[in-house]
Amino acid sequence: MVILKMRLQLKIDGIKQFKGSGDYLLSILCRIRHFVISQPFVVGAFSGSGRPEPLDSLLEDCDSEVTELLADGLSTKLSHG
């Protein structure tokens, strides 16, 4: 089966690692919205003192990988079990 169009939904979620500290754990979550909505899965993570500044630095790798997927496509074998 060839899928010509797929919708992805990205979300950044973060929490302080410890109460009273400035350490944060941020994750970039993705889910596929095509026919059915998939469960979210982690595509990136950041841990450090404070939030990344600028926030764009957190998204650089994710952005370049999504751009590469858009240009080259994705092939996978699906199993139905």
Indicate the domain borders of the chain. 7-72
Residue with the bigger pLDDT between 81 and 38: it is 38
Is residue 4 over pLDDT 80?
no
Is residue 7 over pLDDT 80?
yes
Using one digit for the tens of pLDDT, what is the confidence trace for 20-75?
A: 888 889 899 988 887 677 888 888 888 888 777 787 877 888 888 888 877 887 66
The Cβ-side half-sphere exposure at 74, using a 13 Å CA radius, reads 13
Is residue 80 over pLDDT 60?
no
For the chain, report the end-to-end CA distance as a whole number of angstroms: 17
Q: What residues contact residue 38 under an 8 Å CB cut-off, 6+ apart?
A: 31, 32
Pair of tokens at residue 48: 């450090």
